[in-house]
Structure 1
Amino acid sequence: MIFRQLFDDVSSTYTYVLADEVCKQALVIDPVFSRARRDLALLDELGLELALVVDTHAHADHITAAWLLKQKTGCRIASAKAIGAKYVDDYLEDGQLFGVDGVRMKAIATPGHTDGCMSYVLEDQSMVFTGDALLIRGCGRSDFQQGNAHKLFESITQRLFALPDDCLVYPAHDYNGRNVSSIGEEKAFNARVGAGANETDFVEYMMAMKLPHPKLIDEAVPANLRSGCPQDGKLPEEPDWADIHLSYAGVPEVDHEWLEHHMGEVTVLDVRLDEEIKETPAAGVLIDVQIPLDQLRDRVAELPTDKPIVALCRSGRRSAMAVNILREKGFDRVASLSRGLLSVSGH
């Protein structure tokens, strides 16, 4: 199975990508709206087709990318029936099996943080995705959004702790750099509900917590009840000057075919060394400006500003850095030639 754990450092949210290596259909758990382009870039680079997006609950600290990913890929959206979110294709109930080709999961109702919290366990019980019900050495708060500490204690101790001790725990958030635990570890060491804590211990602990109100709750929850669809129902703006695709490394790129048909509309910047250019001319590509990468920061004033800039090099590695440098210097219409001159026949 292909498995990736992605992180949003603004909301401390983990997004998970799971796919079968043969079937190549992917499901994504808890995607973040502002990270959708990153997630799509990863799926593209791994050759995966996004078939299903699943949210563990209606998050209060970020907006889901479920609706956005559905618009981009045609995938289905799944979440708990108890949430009642719009644009959902598959409303999940406790015990329901779901998934994509080669990856099957079971939904476990784990309310307490919110009424609509769901955890998702792989069919072989090797991994469980616990949302905000069970965190690493902690748990979700229970003081808003129909939170209930008694329900949460039951969800954790009766539902999640019933899984095998070696089942790996992947939460929706972590604020201390931890990325995975296990059911056995949490039974033994969880600061709120582990080491034999009883319901009174847990409830009193949770009631004594005085946490600040989530900053984005008034914006995030209504948006998440629309599966992340903006109020105006419009997709976010994308670069319109080129057929840009974002690499998983975060670099905007164009391919050689696009550049070949739009050469006069952009400034082509070659960042190779002089000796490289003499040995291997950029056949079929009209170079407008040549500045070696190590000189670019000091020579950006030589670049015209009336057109977008496409940077290139031999492989696309140095031109990716050139794009980063140009963006630092205030150029916003920039891209790298994907795979550089290796993408051009004869190089």
Structure 2
Amino acid sequence: MQVNPIQLFDAESSTYTYILSAPDGSGAAIIDPVDRHLARDMAHIARLGLQLTHVLETHAHADHVTSAGRLRAMTGAKACVPSGCGIPPAEVQLEDGDLLRFGAREHIAVIHTPGHTAGSMCYLWRGNLFSGDTLLVDGCGRTDFQGGSAADLYDSVTRKLFTLDERTRVWPGHDYQGQSVSTIGWEKRHNARLAHRSRDEFVTLMAALELPRPRLMDVALPANRKLGLAHGI
């Protein structure tokens, strides 16, 4: 039985949020929720008759504030975060290879993919990869702060993500070009930053990007390390 994630978008930060639901409706998980869309996300959960049991973060975000803490308080869901991201209020500190179980028979596989940040994680569920900022459609996340490393990101993508079944659907954490989903096979062959580049070539490319500092970084990072419960936005 094919079960598709619900993909929701925040236009201000170009962030995707995902809701995953068990086919029998017995449980649900949300990935990378955005604080300003708390009401929207709760409305989706209520409309579909879902019981939210897990709130997942792919990393500590620098461009928006999470609603993880508020969702946990409203629903009783567990907050689940990468153990290397410094988010101590979350009760579940994830490690590479963990399995998160929800609903009657669902599970999410946890894949540690350092590079965008030192603690970044991707999540695999029913042939769907939620790749955060590690792998974007035709791109990848920046690697110049939060313990980021272009060399580590290259290894994470080529040695872990690109070894998945090529039919695996890639659901990115962000998109700035109107793209919503891809596949591992397409990204292996066509990704503008990673395909057909050596590790050294990729490191050189990323070092030359000179990207601007995220506008909300000084607010978002401290807030997200507290599951979004203390911020001034």
TM-score (norm 2): 0.95
SS in 1 for 2:221: helix
CA distance in 2, matches of 1:141, 1:192: 11
Matches within 5 A, 1:295-306: none
SS in 2 for 1:82: helix
Say if 1:24 and 1:47, in contact at 8 Å, map to a contact too. Answer: no
The aligned residue for residue 39 of structure 2 is 37
Specify which of 117, 122, 125 is matched with residue 119 of structure 1: 122
CA distance in 2, matches of 1:15, 1:217: 19
SS in 2 for 1:28: strand
Matches within 5 A, 1:48-197: 48-101=50-103, 102-122=105-125, 124=126, 126-194=127-195, 196-197=196-197
The aligned residue for residue 11 of structure 1 is 13
Identity of matched residues, %: 43
The aligned residue for residue 343 of structure 1 is none
Instruction: Output the amino acid matched with 2:7.
Output: Q
The aligned residue for residue 203 of structure 2 is 203
> What whole-Å deviation, never above 9, does each CA across 1:308-342 have from its counterpart, x for those lacking one?
xxxxxxxxxxxxxxxxxxxxxxxxxxxxxxxxxxx
Q: CA deviation at 1:21?
A: 2.3
Q: CA deviation at 1:144?
A: 1.1
Say if 1:105 and 1:121, in contact at 8 Å, map to a contact too. Answer: yes
SS in 2 for 1:119: strand
Say if 1:166 and 1:182, in contact at 8 Å, map to a contact too. Answer: yes
Q: CA deviation at 1:45?
A: 0.5
Say if 1:52 and 1:99, in contact at 8 Å, map to a contact too. Answer: no
Instruction: Output the amino acid matched with 1:146.
Output: G
CA distance in 1, matches of 2:106, 2:13: 27
Provide runs of 4+ in structure 1 moved above 6 Å. Answer: none
Say if 1:2 and 1:21, in contact at 8 Å, map to a contact too. Answer: no
CA distance in 2, matches of 1:84, 1:99: 23
Instruction: Output the amino acid matched with 1:69.
Output: L
CA distance in 2, matches of 1:9, 1:23: 29
Matches within 5 A, 1:227-246: 227-230=227-230
SS in 2 for 1:132: coil
CA distance in 1, matches of 2:161, 2:62: 22
> What whole-Å deviation, never above 9, does each CA across 1:148-168 have from its counterpart, x for those lacking one?
111010001001101010000
SS in 2 for 1:192: coil
Instruction: Output the amino acid matched with 1:155.
Output: S
The aligned residue for residue 215 of structure 1 is 215
SS in 2 for 1:161: helix
Larger Rg: 1
Gap regions ≥5 residues in structure 2: none
Gap regions ≥5 residues in structure 1: 237-347
CA distance in 1, matches of 2:181, 2:124: 14
CA distance in 2, matches of 1:105, 1:69: 19
CA distance in 1, matches of 2:82, 2:203: 25
1:231–1:141 distance in 2 versus 1, CA, 3 Å: closer
Aligned residues: 230
CA distance in 2, matches of 1:145, 1:91: 18
CA distance in 1, matches of 2:169, 2:5: 13
What is the aligned-residue RMSD (CA, Å)?
1.4
TM-score (norm 1): 0.65
